[in-house]
């Protein structure tokens, strides 16, 4: 939520979701960074570390 809120200049999750329906660019950026932040947070809680960018890309590509 932190980076999404910063990029959207203070929007919340509700604003991000309702803004997507109006095709607001800020809302798409907000939702993207909220999802990335949630994924990193859950990954940190489960595995105890935040993955590097190269680890993430290789895992997504199945290498």
Q: Specify the pTM.
A: 0.57
Q: How many domains does the chain have?
A: 1
Per-residue pLDDT of 43-62, as tens digits, reads 888 888 777 878 777 877 87
Phi and psi of 6, rounded to 5°?
-65, -45
Owning domain of residue 11: 2-61
Q: What is the CA radius of gyration of the chain?
A: 14
Three-state secondary structure of 4-63: HHHHCCCCCHHHHHHHHHCCCHHHHHHHHHHHHHHHHHHHHHHHCCCCCHHHHHHHHHCC
Per-residue pLDDT of 5-53, as tens digits, reads 666 566 566 766 677 777 777 778 878 887 888 888 888 888 887 778 7
């Amino acid at each position: 939520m932190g980076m999404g809120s910063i990029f959207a200049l203070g929007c919340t999750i509700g604003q991000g979701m309702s803004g997507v329906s109006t095709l607001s660019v800020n809302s798409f950026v907000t939702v993207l960074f909220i999802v990335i932040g949630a994924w990193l947070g859950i990954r940190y809680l489960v595995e105890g570390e935040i993955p590097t960018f190269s680890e993430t890309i290789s895992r997504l590509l199945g290498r």
